[in-house]
Structure 1
């Protein structure tokens, strides 16, 4: 058990490079990697089940105690990122399937690694957890409507099928994990340190599968699409921070909102794109998975050296709600 925990800790620290390695594997071994594509939805369901295991009912109490910060952050996430994805895709002249993929990335809930990044960045962890949890619960309703509204004129979008898919691969596994932790808290607490093996491993496989299935497209449009994905993420981080600052949130909350807005559940975007459109539509999500983990780690490194000024030691306080 101790050995597995050390491996999980290593995976958690180096997840950005591991995801990048998954993308490289997809390019070098496209046929073998693409063979994993049919299992993307199952992998994502397992990842979301693990995410549910990390949640507790108390994580949602911040919504009632400090609704401004949570609702503002979630609203920014579901407004800023979808519009950015649609606008940048058209600005770069991307083809319709890639436009849909960019919108799907923007319309997805918070990323599975965002809470860790917020902690490392000395941000408001309680706010981050609440935003991730609430956006995940809202995703079955909000994500299909956003994709229909922004990408429906580009390609036919069946919002009903998207709704059902998100229920199956996101909401149901999350609620199952939440219920299991409530019923068997001690058992779950023992396996929590091993969850990075599941989440990071699953994302690595998803990225490898999507890149492998689109190896030719990556080779031909990789630089242009890569630039669009990087711009999408960086603008999300900057605008998320700007929204927090403009509305008077404290520094730790601004960092949490910035990271939650900028880091999306791109694995979900890839799974939905592959299931409902075409493998090419999943490519923005795969590239986003690679890049946002790297940019998030870099942002956390920079912010970790700058105290928030809200505590004597300037360190993060996971139990503190935003004020």
Structure 2
């Protein structure tokens, strides 16, 4: 078990590298990896189950203990990223399916990678975890509603079916993982060290499946999509930081909210886009998954050197 834990820790620390490797593999071997497309929802469910195994009552106590700070993070997540997505789709010409995919990933909750990046940035990890937990729990209601309001001009949106899907692939696995903690504490304690490995495998296979299924579209529109994703992600960090500063939060909290806003649950975006839109609509989520792990590490490194509350970005 110690070997698995060490491998898991190594893979977790080199997450961005593995995402890039498997994205390249999906592009070079599309016929192999596109066969995984029907398993995207299952893979995401496994990842969410792992997240459920790590949730604790303390994560939710943060919401009660400091509701204003968590509220700032949650509102910033669900206002800034969807808003930026809409602006980018209006300013930059792109196919309707890509526009819908950009908006969809913008309407997703925060990604669990943000918690790791916040830790590396010397930010407020407890606030980051609380914001991720709350946005994830709100996702079944908020994400379909936002997608219906913002993306229906590009593609038909079945918000009801999307709601049920998020419940099945996010809330249900989370709940099962949380229950497993209580019923099988010994097993969970033994399994937790291996969770980073499971999560990384799940995410990289989702990315490879989406890239493999959309190779032709990536060749045609890949640079445009990449530019949009970089802008979306980068502006999310920046505006998230400014929003937290405008609310008078400390530097550690600003770091947490900036990273929380900029990093999305792109695995959920890919799963929903594949199920309800098209493989092409899933490409922004796949590229986002690759890019935000690279940019998140860079932002965390930059933030880690800024410890004076008087510092400004």
What TM-score results when the alignment is normalised by the length of structure 1? 0.94
Q: CA RMSD in A?
A: 1.1
1:36 aligns to what SS in structure 2?
A: helix
Aligned: 1:256 with 2:270: no
Moved over 3 A (4+): none
Give the Å deviation of 1:155: 1.3
Q: Match of 1:217?
A: 217
| Distance in 1, Cα, partners of 2:200 & 2:89 | 28
Unpaired runs of at least 5, structure 1: 311-323
Residue 200 (str. 1) matches residue 200 (str. 2): yes
Deviations 1:61-94 (A, max 9, x none): 1111101110111011001001111211221111
Contact map agreement 1:122 1:308 (CA 8 A) in 2: no
- The answer for the alignment partner of 2:61 in structure 1 is 61
Q: Which residue of 2 aligns with 1:274?
A: 274
Is the CA contact 1:111–1:263 (under 8 Å) kept in the aligned structure 2?
Answer: yes
1:35 matched to 2:35: yes
Corresponding residue of 1:317: none
Per-residue deviation, residues 150-184 of structure 1 (Å, max 9, x unmatched): 01122110100000000000011011111111232
Q: After TM superposition, give the deviation of residue 28 of structure 1 in Å.
A: 0.5
Structure 1, residues 14-55: CA drift from partner, whole Å, max 9, x if none? Answer: 000110111100111011111111100000000000011110
For 2:242 and 2:59, the matched residues in 1 are separated by 25
Give yes or no for the alignment of 1:155 onto 2:155: yes
CA distance in 2, matches of 1:76, 1:306: 22
Unmatched 5+ stretches in structure 2 = none
Count of aligned positions = 310
- Where does residue 91 of structure 2 map in the other structure? 91
What does residue 239 of structure 1 align with? 239
Whether contact under 8 Å (1:112, 1:199) holds in the other structure is no
Q: Deviations over 1:119-169 (max 9, x none)?
A: 111010110010000000000000000000001122110100000000000
Secondary structure in 1 matching 2:272 = helix
